[in-house]
């Protein structure tokens, strides 16, 4: 790991998650993003409160930290999350270029209270055709136009 | 697949993605969510325009469709996306309970123009300890309090 974790931030994530259950705002999950020893974004899960299935604690915290810092890269930041990120939130952590993730509960614990995280990790080990959510490629040649336009654009902002 | 795909929706996703590059708003990606043959949400990638690394076309389209319908489940909907979802967007599609995904470009094509989707799928096949983004469990016993609170809550809204 890049640095020694500071348990005060994990304690905060756990507190936020329990408070989120007590208030009825959403699931038992929250995350805190830290840069140079200070919190730059924190959030709990708001899937049901905001009608947004992507509003996990980690996604919400990443969005808040980026908004606060005015950046789309959180390189130099660590995330403390009350539960191991699901595949959505883990991939978001890669896209956000986080340095490290500290988690409280693990996926197996989440499964014991009814969440799909562990099932999703199993799905990602399967080939596309073997997953329970069906997918199919269409219009591949036409779709390449998108990437050709990107490739040819001289002033693109890469991310 | 649950139904025959309608190429008009893929054409729309591809158009939105190319327009997104031309306008400079973001990456070459867009998605359209369809329910009962009608578009209920569509969006392009806005990672750089909105300083939000989670603002992929699919995530944006899922959020818009849920807002339009006032729900946190898109069961009964299909997604047409200009490129195969990255792991973040694929997991979001599971959480959103989409019925099916139709995609134009695949991950290997995305890799050819510099995107990490294919790398991320490889990361998800690895065990936690072998991934390039380091993670570590902390305070497991304290974190269980979150799940105990959820388990004990009589009026929770499950998702």
If DSSP codes are grouped into helix, strand and coil, which group holds residue A18?
A: helix
CA dihedral A73, A77, A81, A87 (to 10 degrees): 40
Sequence-distant (≥ 6) Cβ neighbours of residue A107 within 8 angstroms: A83, A84, A86, A117, A118, A121
Strands (E), chain A: 30-35, 38-44, 77-83, 100-105, 135-137
pLDDT in tens, A29-64: 999 999 999 999 999 999 999 999 999 999 999 999
pLDDT band per the 50, 70, 90 thresholds, residue B117: confident
CB B98 within 8 A of CB B83: no
Average pLDDT of span A144-159? 94
pLDDT in tens, A72-93: 999 999 999 999 999 999 999 9
Choose among B72, B104, B116: nearest Cβ to A52: B72
What pLDDT, on a 0 to 100 scale, did the predictor assign at position A116?
82
Contact B94 A120 (CB under 8 A): yes
Closest chain B residue to the Cα of A14, Cα to Cα: B143
Strands (E), B73-153: 77-83, 100-105, 135-137
CA angle A109, B92, B30 (to 5 degrees): 165
If DSSP codes are grouped into helix, strand and coil, which group holds residue B22?
A: helix
Q: CA end-to-end span of chain B, whole Å?
A: 24
What pLDDT, on a 0 to 100 scale, did the predictor assign at position B104?
98
- Hey, what are A105's tokens? 């509960």
Closest chain B residue to the Cα of A13, Cα to Cα: B143
CB A66 within 8 A of CB A96: yes
- Hey, what are A142's tokens? 């036409």
Question: What was the ipTM of the complex prediction?
Answer: 0.95
* Residues of chain A contacting B99 with CB distance shorter than 8 Å: 134
What's this model's pTM, rounded to 2 decimal places? 0.96
pLDDT band per the 50, 70, 90 thresholds, residue B45: very high
Q: Which of B58, B78, B84, B142 is catalytic?
A: B58
Q: Over 60: is that where the pLDDT of A1 sits?
A: no
Most confident of B1-5, B71-75, B113-117: B71-75
Q: Over 90: is that where the pLDDT of A117 sits?
A: no
Task: Name the DSSP letter for residue B137.
Answer: E
CA distance B35 to chain A (A): 16
Interface test with A, best of B143, B151, B154 (most A CBs within 10 A): B143
Q: Please tell me the least confidently modeled range out of B12-21, B29-38, B106-115.
A: B106-115
- Hey, what are A10's tokens? 């994990």
């Amino acid at each position: 790991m890049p640095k020694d974790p500071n348990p005060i931030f994990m304690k905060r994530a756990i507190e936020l998650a329990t408070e989120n259950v007590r208030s009825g705002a959403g699931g038992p999950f929250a995350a805190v993003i830290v840069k140079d020893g200070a919190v730059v974004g924190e959030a709990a899960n708001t899937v049901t409160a905001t009608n947004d299935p992507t509003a996990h604690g980690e996604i919400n915290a990443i969005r808040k930290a980026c908004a606060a810092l005015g950046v789309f890269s959180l390189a130099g930041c660590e995330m403390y999350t009350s539960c191991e990120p699901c595949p959505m939130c883990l991939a978001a952590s890669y896209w956000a270029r986080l340095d490290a993730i500290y988690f409280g509960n693990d996926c197996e614990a989440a499964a014991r209270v009814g969440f799909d995280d562990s099932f999703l990790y199993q799905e990602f080990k399967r080939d596309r055709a073997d997953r329970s959510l069906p997918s199919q490629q269409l219009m591949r040649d036409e779709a390449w136009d998108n990437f050709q336009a990107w490739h040819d654009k001289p002033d693109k902002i890469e991310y």
